[in-house]
Every structure is written in structure tokens, then in C-alpha cells.
Amino acid sequence: MSQRNTAVTDQVTDCPIREVLALIGDKWSAQVLVELGDGPRRFTQLERAIEGVSRRMLTLSLRNLERNGLVTRTVHPDSPPRVEYATTALVEEIREPLEALSAWARRAAPAITEARHAYDTRREEPVTPRA
């Protein structure tokens, strides 16, 4: 079974939000779901769409999503091989809150940047009074 696909998921505690993170909280899975939101995609399409992902990690992410019932994998008996991934009904149920979080991220970005700057400068000044 190569690389243990039970990696991210399985047991956590019993905090629901932790369960969600266990499902899509790794580096690429959430973005995969986003890409699949516009309809089924082939492996290479995903690879190109998701900037910076390696084939290895894309495969692992897709395997996990598939194992947890969030993504389906259908192999078309063509040559060259042709595999399509798609989201399941389970994912539809979280599309909306996920969109809400995305929208919030965009809206809050300036405030967050400012908060970071404020925090950082607030912690630097006491160290180097002048300079």
C-alpha cells in the first residue's frame, strides 16, 4: 500500500472542527476540493491548476480524499490512461461555509496584515530603542 493513506485522517479527539481539519487541513486537499468545485478534472489538470504541488503530494491528497468519501476516482479505459476526479455529494454540503471562509479571508487580509505589523513593531521597539 505504499505510503499509508490513513495519514491525516482517522482518530483525532472529538472536537468537530479538528475532524474537519483532519479531512482537509493538510497542505493541498482543500485547494484540490476548490479546483474540483468547477467540475471533474483530470490528474494533470489538477497538477497544473494547483501551483507548487508535486505529483506525489497530489496523489496522496487525492487518495485521502477518496478514502474519506469526498472525491471519486473514475478510470476511463483509454490509451493513454485517462482518470477523472470529482467531488461527492458530501462536499456539496460544505461548499457554502468554505466559500464564506474564503470570502472572509479576502476581506480580513488588510486587517490581518496590519495586526501583524502592529504586533511585530510592538515587540521590536523594546529591544532596539534606537537604530
Q: Which residues bind its own copies (CB under 8 A)?
A: 1, 9-10, 13, 15-21, 23, 25, 30-31, 34, 51-52, 66-69, 90, 93-94, 96-98, 100-109, 111-112, 114-116, 119-120, 123
Q: How far is the CB of 26 from DNA (least distance, A)?
A: 4
Binding site for DNA (CB under 7 A): 2-3, 7-8, 26-28, 42-45, 47, 52-57, 59, 62-63, 73, 80-83, 85
83 beta partners:
75
71 beta partners:
87
Residue 54: contacted member of its own copies, DNA, none (CB under 5 to 8 Å, by partner type): DNA
DSSP 8-state code for residue 127: T
Q: In what order do the strands lie in the sheet with 82-87?
A: 41-42, 82-87, 71-76
Q: How far is the CB of 74 from DNA (least distance, A)?
A: 10
Residues 6+ apart with CB under 8 A from 98: 30, 33, 34
